Each structure stands twice: as structure tokens, then as C-alpha cells.
Amino acid sequence: NLCPFCRTPLAATAEGSELRLMKRVEANDPAGLFKMGVLCYQRGEHERSVEYYTRAAGLGDVTSHFNLANAYQNGEGVERDEKRFVYHLEEAAIGGHPVARFNLGFLEGKSGRVVRSTKHFIIAANLGHDESLEKLKKLYPLGL
């Protein structure tokens, strides 16, 4: 029952937990920034969540890139922006996020770039993404 950040006993209340999290945010800890982004998103504070995800992504947090891609795709907390959506999806995929890699494969296939799409699915499957493996099973009989 220790805090994964500071190794002190867990806070007894939600307020105490959030105070500790804010210390991690103030220290520019990417995991703390990501967690605060998730917390804000769950509260419906989408603009604030994008701010925290952006800071965490700037520090290399892959899942923050993925969440930013979703925000730009859906227009949650930001205006919809296809270029930023693809940019953050690519950054997440490069960082090893399997769902981001799968989504890139889907986008490439939709654009007619089937060979590139297949490569993305192979990488995602190697990262343990089952849906990519299922997609590859369907592509294999077609010779791709």
C-alpha cells in the first residue's frame, strides 16, 4: 500500500491523493502528468486533460500521445485536427503503443496503402495486439 511515486503510505482520502499527484505534476513527472490528464478527462474537463497530456507527451509519455490523438480525432478539449491526430498517433506507434500501431494500419489500408497497412498490423501483432493478428489472418489468404 505504498505510493508508486514517492513510496509513502497511500493517502486515506481522494483529496490527499490528489495533493500528492499535484506534487508529481509540479515536478514535471510524465507519469503524474498523464494521470492528472486522465483524472481531468474523467471529470469532463477535456481542455485541462489535453494540457496535461501535451506536457506529458512532450516528456515522452507514449500513452499521452495516444490520448492526444483521440482528442484531436474526436474534438474533445480541442478542435478536430486531422494532421495533429495523425502526428500523435504516429508518435504513439513509434513509442510502442500497439493500439496506435493498429490504428495506423487501419488508416493506411483505408488510404489504399495495403502493404504499409500490413506492416503496421505485423508490428502491432508482435506487440501482442490480438486484433492485429486477426486482421493479418484475413489478409494472408489474399497474398498480403
Domains parsed from the chain with CATH numbers: 1-80 (1.25.40), 96-144 (no CATH)
Alpha carbon distance 110, 117 (integer Å): 9
- 45 pLDDT higher than 70: yes
**Which among 90, 99, 143 is positioned nearest to 121, based on CA atoms?**
99
**Which among 14, 69, 63, 16 is positioned nearest to 43, based on CA atoms?**
14
Residues in CB range of 46: below 8 A, 6 or more apart: 40, 71, 76, 77
Question: What is the average per-residue pLDDT within 115-132?
Answer: 96
Question: What is the average per-residue pLDDT within 49-74?
Answer: 98
Residue 81 or 6, more confident: 81
Supply the mean pLDDT for the chain: 93
**Which among 52, 51, 47 is positioned nearest to 36, based on CA atoms?**
52
**Which among 20, 99, 28 is positioned nearest to 57, based on CA atoms?**
28
Residues of the chain with pLDDT > 90, as a percent, come to 80
- Taking the alpha carbons at both ends of the chain, their separation in whole angstroms is 49
Question: Which pLDDT band, with edges at 50, 70 and 90, does 123 fall under?
Answer: very high
User: What local confidence, expressed as pLDDT, does residue 19 receive?
Assistant: 86
